[in-house]
A and B are shown apart, each in its own frame.
Chain A
Amino acid sequence: MISQRLKIVICNELNLNPNLIDLYNNTEANEIPGWDSLNHANVIVAIEKNYELRFTGLEILKCKNIGDLQNLIELKIVKS
């Protein structure tokens, strides 16, 4: 389940209206309007800032979809 918090961070960074977007665990980044390779780094930085976390490129590379990203965030929160 994708949290409302994560959804809002992503939508804010991509200037999307959260009410017009559906995000599911199996949604892939390239299915989200505006999330392309150039904007990818900005979305990740926005998530890092909001959750006060840091990801490495390899951690992100292993995330196949938004569900994986949500799990990674939760794992980092527990560890910290």
Chain B
Amino acid sequence: MIDLKSLEDKTVWQRWEYFADTQPDKTAIIHWEAVGKNYRWTYKSLLETANKFSNRLKQIGVQKGDVCAIVIRHNPLFYPFYMGIVGVGALPTVLVYPNPKLHYLKFQHGLVGMAERSGLDWIFTEKELDKIIRPLIVSRRRINTGLFFPLEWDIKDSIAGKGNAELAEIRTSVKMKDPMLLQHSSGTTGLQKPIVLSHSAIVNHVNNYGKTIHLSKDDVIASWLPLYHDMGLIAAFHLPLAVGITTIQMDPFQWILAPSLLLNAISSEKATLTWLPNFAYNLMADKIKEEELKNVSLRSLRMLINCSEKVRSDSHEMFYRKFSEYELHENTLTTMYAMAETTLAVTQSNVGKRATEITVDKFALARGIVSSTDNKNKIKTCVSSGKLIDGCELKVVNERRDTVANDRVGEIAVKSVSMFDGYRNYPEKTSEVFDEEGWFYTGDLGFMDDDDLYVIGRINDVIIVAGNNIYPEDIEDVVSKVESVIPGRIIVFGEEDVVLGTEQVCVVAETKYDNEIELQKLSMDIIKVGMSIDVNIHKIYLVPPRWLIKSSSGKPSRKTNKQRISDNIDKNVWCNK
């Protein structure tokens, strides 16, 4: 265990300075490259470069409290640049680099939406995006100050004596309660929720969660998770650097093409911890070939932590079966329940023990009742997300926000010492999710059993694809504009994909078309419009006019129509699969 007591009142930057002073030559970050040489940052070299970036940022006018968006792909300079922003007391916010499929106007729309909500002051990106982002700056649409390309900067001589003194003054003025970073919740449009976390929230989380998972100075974290995602940013970046251990960072795009990269990195660097969304277990178990695992040993791993989407028992089992011959221990299969609003973790399953599983009656569970059954046709296996970590409280409530009995399903509400301070510039949303006692209502459904939390779904219709939240209304909006789809007569829902271990997006749309060629063409147009907002629409159901049943609000009901599709009895339904 790492003793963090002496660092409890240190800001995130001060912790980085502490480790650069006390263990200068220890590897901080291994920037992993699938092809080519990895780049290793020591704590000393990382902080020196971060200092140079801080100085340059100050020279261009970045002020304490400014919000600095970073839109940069996998690059070794990303890390010290991010830290350099923290070093001037500004707030880094990591944004997803636009996928080529994403229409540039949608990217601009998303950026403007974030700027209007979060007040982005600066954008730091790659030259390739200049022509897309520059018009937003010129028109002054709330991206206030400037667009810069830090990977092009020559920072060799950017540190000066005077600059150092000014930076020291700024850093001393930063207090634990001051905002440290800004994260944006997942989503496909500019309606993402901006979450500000303070130094105190991050540090408290590191201390409490580090204790829960028995973090030691010998731990090494391996991660392919994107740093715009809370699990990647907090678990695999802030956590290791705030306790002085090593983290391996790989490119998510490279990992998805060659998932064996993660296991090769774990084996060669003797990594001990990795966080994964559930689909990654299926993908690795199913797609990695034996010839890609020559000399791979997973013996060093002490925890694989499943989080960010529903944990599936089958996924753990298939992963263990595949990799046990590579010295993977069954007791490494653990789970976590987490969210960006609480910095990260709320619960974690026990160290050194495979996450607990229980079987319940799935039909009773659908009615909100937790009961056991011996009938094999009714059994559903639920995987525990573990017990509360220090600094967190949790209750499961009904629609009136009263606590329910342990054999009932309800909404999960949490309190945490690492709670965010509310959605930035979004008081109406903040007051929606908090009550007067400080409970945060998560929108997740679950139940408690023997002090273990089981998360089984969402109250709203959010679809979670590979750990990313997708809002059905975003897709309904764009599909509604496709020619020959009847406007407003669309529903979108998530469907469980057992093979992939995640959900997939399905669209039901009304159209007057009824011949095969026209329906195929329309289906293609719907897939393409999904691509324009970076959403892969998996299944398309085309139905005749007035097929969709409306809810009491007058809009087509997602729940009822999903059920009709699942019942699979209407011959008027055309499907692309």
Q: Which A residues have a C-beta under 8 Å from some C-beta of B? A: 15-17, 20-21, 28, 30-31, 33-34, 36-41, 44-45, 54, 56-58, 60-62
Q: Are A56 and B258 within 8 A (Cβ)?
A: yes
Q: Given A17-B524, A30-B99, A34-B536, is A57 in contact with B291 using a C-beta cutoff of 8 Å?
A: no
Taking a contact as CB atoms closer than 8 A, the residue among B35, B287, B500, B536 that contacts A58 in the complex is B35
A-B contact count (CB 8 A): 72
Shortest Cβ gap from A77 to chain B (Å): 18
8 Å CB contact of A33 from B99, B253, B256, B531: B531
Would A20 and B521 count as touching, CB distance under 8 A? yes
- Could you tell me if A20 and B258 are in contact, using CB atoms closer than 8 angstroms? no
A27 to chain B, nearest CB (A): 11
Q: Is the C-beta of B520 less than 8 angstroms from some C-beta in chain A?
A: yes
Structural contact, A38 and B257, CB atoms closer than 8 A: no
Q: Which residues of B contact A60 (CB under 8 A)?
A: 257-258
Contacts of A28 on B, CB cut-off 8 Å?
A: 100
B289 and A54 within 8 A (CB): yes
Interface flags for B235-277 (1: CB within 8 Å of A; 0: not) read 0000000000000000001101111110000000000000000
Q: Is B296 an interface residue (CB 8 A)?
A: no
Q: For A36, what are the chain B residues with a Cβ–Cβ distance below 8 Å? A: 536
Q: Identify the closest chain B residue to A58 (Cβ).
A: B258
- Please report whether the interface of chain A is mostly helix, strand, loop or mixed according to DSSP: helix
Complex CA distance for A20 and B283, rounded to whole angstroms:
30
Closest partner residue, chain B, to A29 (CB atom): B257
Known: A38-B279, A60-B257. A31 touches B466 (CB 8 A): no
Query: Could you write out 10 A-B pairs with CB less than 8 Å apart?
Result: A15-B576, A15-B577, A34-B527, A38-B283, A38-B504, A44-B287, A54-B289, A56-B260, A57-B258, A61-B254
B502 interface residue (CB < 8 Å to A): yes
CB under 8 Å from chain A, chain B span 496-525: 500, 502, 504, 520-521, 524
CB pair A57 B261 closer than 8 Å = yes
Complex A-B, nearest 10 residue pairs according to Cβ-Cβ distance, in ascending order: A57-B258, A36-B536, A33-B527, A37-B256, A41-B287, A61-B257, A61-B258, A30-B101, A17-B520, A15-B577
Once A38-B465, A58-B34 are accepted as A-B contacts, the answer to whether A16 and B257 lie under 8 Å apart by CB is no
In the complex, what residues of A have CB within 8 A of residue B286's CB? 41
User: Given A20-B520, A38-B465, A58-B34, A31–B257 Cβ distance below 8 Å?
Assistant: no
B106 proximal to A (CB < 8 A): no
Q: Which of B521-577 contact A (CB under 8 A)?
A: 521, 524, 527-528, 531, 536-538, 576-577
Q: A15-B576, A38-B536 are contacts. A33–B258 as well, Cβ < 8 Å?
A: no
Residues of B contacting A41 with CB < 8 Å?
A: 259, 283, 286-287
CB distance from A37 to the nearest CB of B (A): 4
